Amino acid sequence: MPTLEGGRRRRGRGGSGQLSAPRLRSDVPERAGLDPDRLRRLAATVHGLTAGDRPWAAGAVLAVGRGPVLAVEEAAGWAVRYAAYDPRGGAGVELPAAARVPVTAGTPFDLASLTKLFTAVAAVQQIERGTLGIDAEVGGYLPDFRAAAAHRLTVRQLLTHTSGLRPELPLYDCADDAERLARLRAEAPAGAAGTYRYSDVNMLLLQQVLERITGRALDVLVHEGITRPLGMTATCFGPCPGAAATEDQRRPWAKADRGMLRGVVHDENAWALGGVAGHAGLFSTARDLAVFCRALLAGGSYGPARILGPDFVELLLTPPGLGFALDQPWFMGELAGRGAAGHTGFTGTSLILDRATDTFVVLLANTVHPCRRPPDSRPRAATATEVARAVRGR
């Protein structure tokens, strides 16, 4: 395991002597040791999630793979189905059939909180390089963030959601960037450190740390350190023309009045911060996320590229997980229990990688189109369970 303070230096990314890891290839489920009948039924189920007058999601894309094989890539429904949301009728105002935009396998989706996984990887990259200490105090890097410094918050606490910080700050109500930054600098924990409390503010502070120690913006760090070396050309912070639509964002159900959103970030705080935030803002496709999963399952390498060394992937995914949630049946179904890692996003996205079976599941959906509603992760869990049962010999 790497040292916890600063990390152990290893070969540079793409350095000489590095073995090339297999790239993903599309192939039949049998080549991946997956039950083809179960996966055919699962692919059909995705279409059911987007059917009817009040579907689980307007559109969805499912990607399932094991080892280097991408065994399922199924698209269903609509990237854009509604023109607006009618609060009186409690339903969407549907576009004429000719004006709707179908989902394809290459449709980008607003990842929402899946962005946190990329922020976590960017942080662990700095730990590997020795420029960031996992148990170092945030105040050591950000002395002007008075509350974090006074409460001696650590990088590990930010990554594990144990800082005590509240879930979010209403940065979208601030007058300008100066006021938003002042709010972040003054924000003190609302609870005792050491207790799990999921918080977007953790990743916003981590973003500030990363940008301070590297001198580069988060979108640059993600591009140069993760998406470009992995060839994830469809993954970026917005704007992202052609992305699946999300919400007709209006008060009182939303926190801002922005109208129907497509290609711009859904999260109100990320929007207020210009679209680049540690907790939200990325757009991506199912295939690009399949590559991200494959790289982590392969110990940090994909083709000739390496984004992390194996020891640091282990650090990332060792309980309780750094940025990643581990073994959560509520969205991982029967894949949970042996070290499965992943995350969900408020817009309807989810990602699971199961190291025990070398399997990944990506389900991207726009469940908030045309309007947000109480989250329902049962389809995510059911999908993961079907994949778990498709792994032959499980």
Q: Would you say how long the chain is, in residues?
A: 394
Q: Is the pLDDT at 313 greater than 90, yes or no?
A: yes
**pLDDT score of 10:** 37
Locus of tokens 């189920």: 45
**pLDDT score of 393:** 56
Of the listed ranges 11-20, 84-93, 124-133, 267-276, the least confidently predicted one is 11-20
Q: Is the pLDDT at 4 greater than 60, yes or no?
A: no
Residue 373 lies in a domain: yes
Where in the chain does DSSP place strands (E)?
25-26, 59-66, 69-80, 82-86, 91-94, 101-102, 109-110, 236-237, 245-249, 259-262, 282-284, 301-302, 305-306, 325-326, 341-345, 349-354, 359-365
**pLDDT score of 71:** 97
**pLDDT score of 19:** 64
Where in 277-357 does DSSP place strands (E)?
282-284, 301-302, 305-306, 325-326, 341-345, 349-354
Distance of CA 120 to the CA centre of its chain: 10
Q: Quote the number of domains for the chain.
A: 1
Q: Is the pLDDT at 212 greater than 80, yes or no?
A: yes
Q: Is the pLDDT at 129 greater than 90, yes or no?
A: yes
Distance of CA 17 to the CA centre of its chain: 31
What b/e string do you get for 137-149 counting C-beta neighbours within 10 Å, with b at 16 or more?
bbbebbeebebbb
Structure tokens, 302: 């994909």
**pLDDT score of 262:** 98
Closest CA to 376 of 364, 367, 366, 385: 367
Tell me which DSSP letter residue 275 carries. S
- 127 and 118 in contact (C-beta within 8 Å)? no
Residue 18 lies in a domain: no
We report the CATH number of the domain holding residue 381 as 3.40.710.10
What confidence tier does 1 reach under pLDDT thresholds 50, 70, 90? Answer: very low
Reported as type and span, the H/E element at residue 270 is: helix 268-272
Region 88-95: mean pLDDT is 96
Distance of CA 290 to the CA centre of its chain: 12
Residue 382 lies in a domain: yes
Task: Please write the tens of the pLDDT for every residue from 39-67.
Answer: 999 999 999 999 999 999 999 999 999 99
- The percent of residues above 70 in pLDDT, for the chain, comes to 95
Residue 7 lies in a domain: no
- 334 and 380 in contact (C-beta within 8 Å)? no
Say if strands 91-94 and 101-102 run parallel, antiparallel, or are unpaired.
unpaired
Hey, which residues does 303 pair with through a beta bridge? Answer: 21
**pLDDT score of 12:** 38
Residue 280 lies in a domain: yes
Amino acid at 277: A
Residue 149 lies in a domain: yes
Task: Please write the tens of the pLDDT for every residue from 135-183.
Answer: 999 999 999 999 999 999 999 999 999 999 999 999 999 999 999 999 9
**pLDDT score of 65:** 98
- What is the rounded distance in angstroms from the CA atom of residue 203 to the CA atom of residue 159? 7
**pLDDT score of 13:** 43
Q: What is the pTM of this model?
A: 0.94
Task: Please write the tens of the pLDDT for every residue from 11-41.
Answer: 334 443 456 889 999 999 999 999 999 999 9
Read out DSSP for 140-186?
Answer: HH-TT-HHHHHTT-BHHHHHTT-S---S---GGGSSSHHHHHHHHHH
Residue 89 lies in a domain: yes
What confidence tier does 392 reach under pLDDT thresholds 50, 70, 90? Answer: confident
- What is the rounded distance in angstroms from the CA atom of residue 109 to the CA atom of residue 156? 29
- What is the rounded distance in angstroms from the CA atom of residue 282 to the CA atom of residue 10? 29
Amino acid at 51: A
- What is the rounded distance in angstroms from the CA atom of residue 73 to the CA atom of residue 89? 35
Region 87-114: mean pLDDT is 97
Region 116-134: mean pLDDT is 98
Reported as type and span, the H/E element at residue 385 is: helix 378-390
Residue 353 structural domain: 25-390
Q: Is the pLDDT at 8 greater than 90, yes or no?
A: no
Residue 20 lies in a domain: no
**pLDDT score of 224:** 98
